[in-house]
């Protein structure tokens, strides 16, 4: 099974000041994981050229297949993602004819005749050698940068969720599916009363050791104690792999062994 | 006004696989911002010693006042935060008598007599020279590491939201308030129809240039177009500072100038 790895870099002061919950990173990592890819790191930086530049350089040094950025592509003073990438990778920003055409198309789609002034053309100034992608929902084109010194490809998605989602689904998801090939994921969780994480820890270690690390995932989430002071856990089991049947069997085996151990320890499944 | 800067490092595979929304980072950055501190970066890594170690080293090289970690303090196989810090900072993990006492107290609080076996004592093995903090809600102690080569202090909070919140409010928030001193924040937002980001961009740049950067914040959030194809924006204004009166005046002035400009451009406030 070919691995597909990604890092996510979200740009926006509102994500650092507790104004906006980072649902973009959640949505992206969900889609990537359920298609068989692996998100290795999520980073959030503010609307600051140097911060974006450093984060991009650090990320591509770790060599993920893709670095997916979100936010900072618009026309306002605080939209600095492309500038950050240009500084980080030592590329010029240049007005791109195709990107200008995409802007025109975006405005035409809404039957709006805006003057393509300096402010609007900012959205078409992209790192030299990069590829603009039509934004099917909003205005600012998305941008793919392939000219990194490492193997990583960079895609800049808009921060507006609907725009980000549309371009991701059109331009990145097919590539992940293509790379990973057949993929099946089974997830399930259940709640247990009377069992603490510590009680279950030895069996968890055993299960994790005897199953393929990257394609099995067991996590215990401690909940608040019950009214009669009993520990409560939510236990989550994820199995994934190329073969549906094999994944089902692995998921069922892990569940079965956990449920037996919980019974042995005197726990109850809720 | 003394600056207080922080980075947040969240540890957990579930945050990278789109299983859990990172509300911990949101909650922490909200609390830090509203007390006058600045969150400079948020990083999410998986339950992996090397990933945690690198992220910690990279963060303290940027010298925030605090590096706040969340997650990975429990007794199970995938709780690796303290080990990651030990590797990153080249410190030993050692069983800490105070931390053991805290574990005992946590169990006693629930009138539970658990054997302090190897699995449970893992939660009391902390980087040598660090300070354990009683977990007032759950079991695993929190840990403060001051022995970094840089000025940064590190605190490891549990990943369970109620536990994380309780320890943050008790142990970090008073320190932020103490450092920053008097602080007042005013936030407001309104929706506008008929105005695009590009139309408002010149006035935004002007407003941002004429107000103190770190203590004023104006952000336009594009919304879906209206049914009659008009652009919609949510405009958010934040003013902050030491003096309530001065902050109110700044917030009102920014709002007033924006509203005038919106009127001039033919936009309507919703």
- Residues A88, A203: one domain? no
Q: Report which of B257, B229, B238, B235 is spatially closest to residue B191, judged by C-alpha positions.
A: B235
Report DSSP state, residue A141: P
Structure confidence at residue A1 (pLDDT): 59
- Residues B132, B202: one domain? no
- Residues B11, B140: one domain? yes
Find the CB nearest A138 among B22, B219, B222: B222
Instruction: Identify all chain B residues contacting A225, using CB atoms and an 8 Å cutoff.
Output: 110
* Residue B206 distance to chain A (closest CA, Å): 9
Render pLDDT for B118-170 as a digit per residue (tens, 0 to 9). Answer: 999 999 999 999 999 999 999 999 999 986 777 899 999 999 999 999 999 99
Q: Quick check: A10 and A71 in contact, CB under 8 A? A: yes
Enclosing domain of residue B237:
184-269
* Residue A239 distance to chain B (closest CA, Å): 13
Structure confidence at residue B226 (pLDDT): 87
What CA dihedral angle connects B145, B150, B153 and B159, to 10 degrees? Answer: -70
- Residues A36, A166: one domain? yes
Residue B1 reports pLDDT greater than 70: no
Structure confidence at residue B228 (pLDDT): 86
Q: Compute the distance between CA of residue B42 and CA of residue B177 in angstroms, rounded to an integer.
A: 21
Structure confidence at residue A226 (pLDDT): 87
Q: Report which of A112, A113, A134 is spatially closest to residue A123, judged by C-alpha positions.
A: A134
Structure confidence at residue B9 (pLDDT): 98
Q: Is residue B214 very low, low, confident or very high in pLDDT (cuts 50, 70, 90)?
A: confident
Interface test with A, best of B6, B14, B15, B17 (most A CBs within 10 A): B17
- Residues A158, A95: one domain? yes
Residue ending a domain, choose from B112, B146, B180? B180
Instruction: Identify all chain A residues contacting B44, using CB atoms and an 8 Å cutoff.
Output: 25, 41-43
Among chain A residues, CA nearest to B50: A40
- Residues A96, A137: one domain? yes
Among chain B residues, CA nearest to A41: B45
The answer for residues whose C-beta is within 8 angstroms of residue B100's C-beta and 6 or more apart is: B116, B121, B124
- Residues B16, B118: one domain? yes
Q: Compute the distance between CA of residue A156 and CA of residue A131 in angstroms, rounded to an integer.
A: 10
Residue ending a domain, choose from A180, A197, A228? A180
- Residues A117, A166: one domain? yes
Any chain B CB within 8 A of the CB of A78?
Answer: yes
- Residues B218, B93: one domain? no
Any chain A CB within 8 A of the CB of B222?
Answer: yes
- Residues A140, A71: one domain? yes
- Residues B140, B242: one domain? no
Structure confidence at residue B151 (pLDDT): 87
Interface test with B, best of A9, A13, A17 (most B CBs within 10 A): A17
Among chain B residues, CA nearest to A205: B77
Q: Quick check: A189 and A235 in contact, CB under 8 A? A: yes
CB-based burial, A184-211: b 16+ in 10 Å, e otherwise: bbbeeeeebbbbbbbbbbbbbeebbeee
Structure confidence at residue B201 (pLDDT): 93
- Residues A26, A68: one domain? yes
Find the CB nearest A13 among B19, B202, B217: B217
B81-89 vs B49-61: helix axis angle to the nearest 10? Answer: 50
CB atoms within 10 A of CB A114: 18
Structure confidence at residue A204 (pLDDT): 94
* A positions 82-121 inside 8 Å of B (CB): 110-112, 114, 117, 119-120
Any chain B CB within 8 A of the CB of A188?
Answer: no
Render pLDDT for B165-204 as a digit per residue (tens, 0 to 9). Answer: 999 999 999 999 999 999 999 999 999 999 999 999 999 9
Mean pLDDT of B43-64: 96
Q: Is residue B98 very low, low, confident or very high in pLDDT (cuts 50, 70, 90)?
A: very high
Look at chain B and report how many structural domains it folds into: 2
Q: Quick check: A82 and A93 in contact, CB under 8 A? A: yes
B137, two tokens:
């809600």
Instruction: Give the least confident one: A39-43, B13-17, B226-230, B257-261.
Output: B226-230
10-residue averages of pLDDT along chain A (270 residues): 90 94 97 96 98 97 96 95 97 97 91 85 96 94 85 95 96 93 94 93 93 88 87 94 95 96 94
Mean pLDDT of B37-65: 97
Find the CB nearest B43 among A43, A222, A238: A43
Render pLDDT for A200-218 as a digit per residue (tens, 0 to 9). Answer: 999 999 999 999 888 899 9
Q: Do A229 and B51 touch (CB under 8 A)?
A: no
Residue ending a domain, choose from B180, B200, B233? B180
Task: Provide the ipTM.
Answer: 0.95
List the CATH number of the domain containing B228.
3.30.70.1120
Mean pLDDT of B232-239: 94
SS3 A266: coil
Any chain A CB within 8 A of the CB of B15?
Answer: yes
């Amino acid at each position: 099974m070919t691995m597909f790895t990604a890092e996510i870099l979200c740009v926006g002061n509102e994500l650092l000041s507790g104004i906006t919950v980072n649902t973009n990173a959640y949505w992206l990592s969900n889609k990537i994981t359920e298609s068989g890819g692996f998100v290795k790191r999520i980073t959030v930086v503010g609307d600051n050229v140097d911060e974006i530049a450093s984060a991009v350089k650090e990320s591509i040094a770790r060599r993920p297949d893709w670095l997916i950025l979100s936010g900072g592509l618009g026309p306002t003073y605080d939209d600095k993602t492309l500038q950050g990438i240009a500084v980080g990778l030592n590329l010029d920003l240049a007005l791109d004819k195709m990107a200008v055409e995409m802007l025109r198309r975006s405005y035409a789609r809404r039957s709006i005749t805006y003057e393509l002034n300096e402010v609007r053309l900012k959205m078409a100034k992209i790192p030299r050698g990069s590829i603009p992608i039509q934004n099917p929902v909003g205005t600012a084109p998305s941008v793919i940068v392939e000219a990194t010194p490492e193997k990583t490809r960079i895609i800049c998605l808009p921060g507006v969720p609907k725009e980000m989602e549309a371009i991701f689904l059109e331009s990145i998801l097919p590539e992940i599916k293509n790379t990973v090939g057949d993929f099946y994921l089974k997830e399930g969780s259940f709640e247990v009363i009377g069992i603490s994480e510590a009680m279950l820890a030895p069996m968890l270690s055993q299960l994790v050791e005897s199953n393929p690390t990257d394609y099995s995932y067991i996590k215990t989430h401690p909940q608040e104690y019950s009214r009669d002071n009993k520990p409560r856990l939510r236990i989550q089991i994820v199995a994934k792999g190329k073969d549906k049947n094999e994944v089902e069997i692995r998921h069922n085996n892990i569940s079965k062994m956990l449920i037996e151990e919980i019974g042995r320890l005197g726990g109850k499944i809720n």
